[in-house]
Amino acid sequence: MLNGVDGVESKQYFAAPKLPPALTNASTYKRLLNYVAGPVLFVLIGISIYNQLAVQPQLGTQWQQLLQRWQQRPGLLVAVLALMLANWGLEARKWQLLVSHALPVPYSRALMGVLAGVSFTMLTPNRTGEFLGRVLSLPDGSRIRAATLTAFSSMSQLMITLLAGLAGIAYLQHYYHSTPNWQPILAYALLYGSGMALLLLLAVYFNVAGLVRLLQKWPPVGRYTSYLQAVGQLQAAELWRYLALSALRYAVFLWQYYLVFVLCNVQLTVWQAVAGTASLFLILAVVPSVSLAELGIRGKASLFVFGLLGGSTLGILAATGLVWLINIILPAVAGSLILLSVKLFSKTSSNHP
């Protein structure tokens, strides 16, 4: 059960004095939430996943074609699955290191929290619910602090996405600006908009301690800055480490996409695949989406980007669907199962940082 740090909360619980009736009733409500909310979330997430699969056109035909191709290249499929495990394993390690500034978290719990976060993205737009699934795996007294640290995990990954995306768009602009479907206005909007966003994020990321000190002096929010103390203690060497882990995870993405293109018979060179995938990630990062339409948006964006490079429509859509299935749906199913064991409230909780 994910109900706190081993050996800490249990001691507090057994040492606690007899609770008054009001608190006893509150504990009853907590138990109801713990044992009802988990199964309800599991059902909602399962329905969301089913709906996303059910609305896909010609799903059975595409599935049969993919199966035939996979039977011919089983080693590639195994490699793609292994890279999925590496992807989320690296993210779990990064999150574990960050959350350790609030409380020690075993790697196994960090991995379960990350998978639970993936399942929550199925219910929220633009993956905004990911942090909620993660912090639910932690004791409720530390969740606010963990949420602020989780934001830095997302920020470091977004910075790498923007940087690589800028390089990818620049590559396409240089070599494919004369193709009929090239959109120069979109390309320049992505280049300049992403460049400005990257500079802003860099300024915040590497100056977070100073920003926390400034917020402490601002009366309206000063009383809440105690929740940001862990973020303000991040050192430059640690921030670079998180960026390095994000870059390594991004490299796993790129390699995985290339293998999927080979598996789905999409004829691209390595550089085309890398530049196109980096551009695709950038577009997906800035385009608003909701979970029920995510695969459709991925498909449209993939056709736009890789269509410029000469990839076949069926192969592009098959590759997009396969990556979505392996990287999102499989972890989301695992995360929804984990949520069945998550307690929204531990037996005792500390609401102070």
In contact, 212 and 227? CB cutoff 8 Å: no
- One-letter amino acid identity for 350? S
Q: Averaged over 308-330, what is the pLDDT?
A: 83
Higher model confidence: residue 254 or residue 181? 254
Give the percent of the chain with pLDDT over 90: 25
Which residues, other chains included, contact 247 with Cβ-Cβ below 8 Å and sequence gap of 6+?
160
- Candidates 249, 248, 267; CA nearest to 258 is 267
Give whole-number Cα distances, 263 to 77, 319, 322, in Å. 7, 8, 10
pLDDT at 94 over 90: yes
Lowest mean pLDDT among 116-130, 141-155, 235-249, 270-284: 116-130
pLDDT in tens, 231-286: 777 888 989 999 999 999 999 999 999 999 988 888 888 999 999 999 999 998 88
Model pLDDT, residue 226? 64
| N-to-C CA span, the chain | 23
Which two structure tokens, joined as six digits, stand for 87? 């992807």
Model pLDDT, residue 315? 78
